[in-house]
Structure formats: structure tokens, C-alpha cells
Amino acid sequence: MSGAPGAGPLLEVDAISVSFGAVLALNRVSLAIARGEIVAIIGPNGAGKTTLLNVVSGFYHPSEGRILFDGTERTNLRPWEVAALGIARTFQNVALFKGMSVLDNIMTGRLVKMKGSILLEAIYWGPAMKQEMAHRAAVERIIDFLEIEAIRKTPAGRLPYGLQKRVELARALAAEPTLLLLDEPMAGMNVEEKEDMCRFILDVHDEFGTTIALIEHDMSVVMDISDRVVALDYGRKIADGPPHAVRTDRVVLDAYLGVAHA
Amino acid sequence: MMELLAALASGLVSPFAEMAGSPRFLIEVLIGGISSGLLYSLVALGFVLIFKASGVFNFAQGVMVLFAALTLVGLMERGVPVALALPLTVLVMIGLAFAIERIVLRPLVNQEHIILFMATIGLNFFLEGFGEMLWGANVKKLDVGVPDTSFTVAGILVNRLEISAALTAAVLVTILGIFFQRTRIGRALRAVADDHQAALSIGIPLKTIWVIVWSVAGLVALAAGIMWGAKSGVQFSLSLIALKSLPVLILGGFTSVPGAIVGGIIIGVGEKLAEVYWGPLVGGAIENWFAYVLALAFLLVRPQGLFGERIIERV
């Protein structure tokens, strides 16, 4: 692991609040994610899960609270600055470049890694050519890894939903992130696709040591792959702990099933 | 009836006979067509870049041509030598790009496209008035140091000014084409064009891309302004060449750099051929509307243009 601070948690969200008009989407939520952890964020619809992800990735800015990445305060960064830090994400409703091929989509994920002279790139010469080839090789490894060789030339917009989700994961991986944020990576998938996706997420974690935070509704998936579960409800954190403890937590059950009035 | 058929037949056939009969003249017409076509391409490129990066049809592109040429001529009239006036004008156009990003685009981010379009209409009138306020509204002569005279190569008459404008346009168009196809800025631009949110998430700074495309659009406008201005003087009608690049965009596709280039040449050559060979048969002045008819015909057959991205809709 790089970075001098190294010792503390990779990501610290410290008492952040976000409001949209009168709606308090997040209410002083705190959470810490350690290096190498897989953390699942669960909660009923409208609990603030996606808002939390959007705050971490710079799409929203909190009205109060702080975000620390690798021990340094990074509260009000813009999305591209967050990406440059090594935080990659996917979206709930797949945000791929639909007109571009799968290969080009994944190549765009490498943009944060590209350096050097734009003039040399234009004439495709010397170090620029070497660089382009190195990036291509990295992208090919990811394509192999996620088993999408067969569709590399297909425009992303024409793929079935399950594959689009996989390509989006590939694009996020192309940036070689230290922290990967996945917003419902298995939504709308059938059982087989879900199993594949679970396997990929675990493989990414094992192979690259990537820290992963994911939002997921399917409890069996959450139980299978996460080290820790954070539950949100109405913008508040209501539970944070090992999967089995959170699963049987009274408050969490109430949030999902409603409180029984005996 | 017979007369009508005969007239129709001669109308269809005789122009081709004329072309075959005098190949040198045909080549002269083609050269004229290509050189004005490349100028259309240049203006169209300005549109395409901005449309690609922000999904906005920049209504002010034509006025940017006028504004750039006015600034250059205005500086030269005040005794600034060309060697200094040109880089100064380039700086003004880049400054304009920064100002547009800061004052117009950034506050309107995530607004409907039609709102951004209306903002560019406002920009159009502002630039028009501002340019004339600064530099005056009278017709100005732009001397680029290339005489408006002709020479002969292998019996073909070539105009010096026209051919140097065409060559400059060709070089510029090629450089831009390579820049946007091969470099990472090109890739980032395509990404931004496709999906803003996704582009942000993979680390593309939207505002940098906007400043870049508006700067390039400004430079392209300057080049077009110089070439057109040298031909017909710097005056308000310069901004109207933007209208001529609309059919180019329809032909080439709003999102395609090669499309703008090829479309421009097709329109330029097409309208010259039509004017010279078919014009006399219908009483002339075809050049003024031929491009639009061609564009309309194209809309029926291939609405996305020659190179535009295929319009795929999921049902």
C-alpha cells in the first residue's frame, strides 16, 4: 500500500449531512472503511445509500461533516479530483458510453493514468506509442479477467443489461482504484449473473487487494461477500457490524419489515 | 410534350457532355468547389466540437467567425503588425472561451439543452454588438499578404488567394482531425459527449474540456474569418457562412469530425457543379439553395448523417 498515513482507515466519513430542500437525505452519518475490506451498505429505498456514495465520489457535497481519504481531508472535491485520487465507481442505472465499443469504454477508464505529451500522442510516436500499448495491455488483462473477450468490439449500448454492468465494472477497474464503489452491481440480474458478479467482486478483491464498498439489496449476496455491513434508514446509520449480527439486529429488521405493534 | 421531354433529356445529359468536353474547366470548377468546401468544413468543425462536448448547438458560431476577423482587422487598423495582431487575436479567442465557460456554461450545467441553446443565441447577439462597438460596423479590408490574382498550371487557372486558403484549411482540418481521433483529449471529448455523469466519474474535468473545445472552436472561427474576410472583406455577412455549414452538418452528422470535413467538400463541390453546369438551365443562382436541398434529401435517407453515430433506440 502506498501513502505515508497508511495506518488509519482508508476512508473515513465523519458526521456528514446532505439535504435536498427540506429532505434530510443523510443525517450525521459516520463510517470508516479499512484497507482491504468489503463493506456492504444496505437499507430500505430512500435510506440515503446512493446519496452516501455520491458524496464520497464528489457528485454531492455535504452541508456538514468531513470526508477523509487515506488520512487527508477530501471533503469538497469535484468528481474528477476524486477519480484522480484512486476512487472509482459504478452507477445504479449503468452509465456507460453507449455509442462507444466495449474496448473504448474500458480505455476511457485509463484516462486518469495517462500522462505525457499530447503532441506525441497525436503523431502516435515514441513514448506516446509505448504508453498507448501499455494501456491497451492493461485493458486486455481486465477484459480477460472479467471474461468479456467476445464483446470487446460491440457498442456498449447494444449489450444486455447484465453485461453492461460487467463492462461498467471493467471500466472502473481500468483506473486501478484503491477504493471501488459499486451502486447495486447486481440489480436486475438473474441468479446466474448474480453468481458471476459475486465471483468477480471477490476475485477483484483477492487479486488486486481493492477495498470495496457496495450497495446491495439481496441479503444472501450481502451475507456471502461482505466483511462488514452498514445499514441506513431515513438518512441515519442504524447498524454497523459483521453481517450476521446486522442481519439479526432488531432495529434493522424493524426498518425493513416495519415495527410490529403487538 | 415532345418538347418537354427533349428539354428534360438535354437538361440531364448536356451538362455531362459539357464536363467531358472541357476537362480543364471542370477541374477549375472542382478546385473552386473544394476550396470553398474546406472553408465550410472549418466552420462546421467548430459546431461539431461544441456539439460533441456539450450537446449544444452553438448558435453563435457564425458570429464568432465575425468577431475573430473583426478583432484581427481592428488591431491591424490601429497599427499593430500582423505578427503581433494574430497571436493577440488567438489570445482573445481563448480568453473568450474561458469567459463563456465561466459565465454562460457553468451556471447552466445540467440544464435542458434548449436552455443552453438559448444561451448561445444570447451570446450571438452579445458578440455581434460587442464586436461592432469595439471595432466599428463598416466593411473592413483584410490584407493577408496573398494577392488575389491567378496563375496557370498545365492550362488550369488557379487563384492564389483561393488555393492558399484551401491549403491552410486542409492543414488545419487534418491537424484537428488527428488531435481529436488520436489523443487522450479526443477520447475524453467523446466520453463527455456520450455521458456527462460517467465522464465525471472516470476523472474527466468537464470544465477543462469545455474550455478546450470553445478555444478550438474560436481558433477555427478565426481561421475561417481570415480566409473569408480576405476574399470578401470583413463585414456582418461573414456571420452568415454559419448558415452554409448547417447543410454540411446534416450531411456529415453533428457528431463526426470526418463527417464535417467530407460533408463540407461534398457541399462545396456539389454547389459549384450545380451552379456552373445546371444553373444556366434553370436561370442560375442554384448555389444559394442547392446545399439545403441536398441536406433535405439526406435527412430523408440518413437522418444521422454520413458519419454520425447511429441513432439506436430501445423500444
Could you read off the pLDDT of A151-182 as tens digits, one per residue?
988 888 888 888 899 999 999 999 889 999 99
Tell me, yes or no, whether B11 lies in a domain. no
> In the prediction, which pLDDT does A260 show?
58
Could you read off the pLDDT of A201-226 as tens digits, one per residue?
999 999 888 999 999 888 888 888 99
Q: Are residues A139 and A209 in the same domain?
A: no
Work out whether strand A87-89 and strand A179-183 pair parallel, antiparallel, or are unpaired. parallel
Q: How far is B97 from chain A (nearest CA, A)?
A: 20
pTM for the whole thing?
A: 0.75
Q: What's the number of domains chain A is made of?
A: 2
> In the prediction, which pLDDT does A126 show?
66
Could you say which of A114, A149, A176 is where a domain stops? A176
Q: How far apart are CA A60 and CA A53, in angstroms?
A: 9
Percent of chain A with pLDDT over 70: 91
Helix, strand or coil, per DSSP, at residue A242: coil
> In the prediction, which pLDDT does A3 show?
44
**B184/A96 CB distance under 8 A:** no
> In the prediction, which pLDDT does A179 show?
94
Tell me, yes or no, whether B295 lies in a domain. yes
Residue from B201, B206, B313 to probe the interface with A (highest A Cβ count within 10 Å): B201
Domain ranges, residue A142: 95-176
Average pLDDT over residues B265-288: 80
Return left, alpha or beta for B55; rule: phi > 0 is left, psi -120 to 50 is alpha, else beta. left
> Which residues of chain B make contact with A134, given a CB cutoff of 8 A?
none
Query: Which residue type is seen at B218?
Result: G
**B187/A118 CB distance under 8 A:** no
What CATH number is given to the structural domain containing B251?
A: 1.10.3470
> In the prediction, which pLDDT does B11 show?
67
Q: Are residues A102 and A130 in the same domain?
A: yes
Q: Are residues A103 and A158 in the same domain?
A: yes
Separation in Å, CA B151 to CA B42, B147, B162: 26, 11, 11
> In the prediction, which pLDDT does B311 show?
53
**Biggest CA-to-CA distance, chain A:** 76
Task: Decide if A135 contacts A107 (C-beta within 8 A).
Answer: yes
What CATH number is given to the structural domain containing A123?
A: 3.40.50.300
Tell me, yes or no, whether B8 lies in a domain. no
Domain ranges, residue B71: 22-301
The complex's ipTM works out to: 0.79
Average pLDDT over residues B93-114: 83
Chain A residues within 8 angstroms (CB to CB) of chain B:
57-59, 78-80, 83-84, 88-89, 91, 95-100, 104, 107-109, 111-112, 114, 118, 121-124, 155, 157-158, 171-172, 175
Q: Are residues A128 and A197 in the same domain?
A: no
State the angle between helix axes of B184-194 and B23-54 in degrees (0 to 180), rounded to the nearest 10: 70
Whether the CB of B171 is below 8 Å from some CB of chain A: the reply is: no
**B205/A100 CB distance under 8 A:** no
Residue in B175, B178, B188 closest to A111 by CB:
B188
Which residues of chain B from 254 to 313 reach within 8 Å of chain A, CB to CB? 309-310, 312
Query: For residue A117, what is the nearest residue in chain B, using CA coordinates?
Result: B183
Q: What's the number of domains chain B is made of?
A: 1
A261 vs A85 pLDDT, higher one: A85
Alpha carbon B197 to its chain's center: 30
> In the prediction, which pLDDT does A110 show?
85
Query: For residue B209, what is the nearest residue in chain A, using CA coordinates?
Result: A80
Average pLDDT, chain A: 86
Identify the band that residue B315 occupies on the pLDDT scale cut at 50, 70 and 90: very low
Residue A107: exposed, middle, or buried by beta-carbon count in 10 A (0-12, 13-18, 19+)? buried
Q: Are residues A183 and A81 in the same domain?
A: yes
Average pLDDT over residues B53-77: 85
Task: Decide if B68 contacts B221 (C-beta within 8 A).
Answer: yes
Task: Decide if B100 contacts B114 (C-beta within 8 A).
Answer: no
Whether the CB of B195 is below 8 Å from some CB of chain A: the reply is: yes
Q: Are residues A71 and A188 in the same domain?
A: yes
Could you say which of A176, A195, A224 is where a domain stops? A176
Helix, strand or coil, per DSSP, at residue A201: helix
Question: Which cell numbers hold the place of B114?
Answer: 434548449
Q: Are residues A201 and A253 in the same domain?
A: yes
Tell me, yes or no, whether B6 lies in a domain. no
Identify the band that residue A1 occupies on the pLDDT scale cut at 50, 70 and 90: very low
Could you say which of A176, A194, A212 is where a domain stops? A176
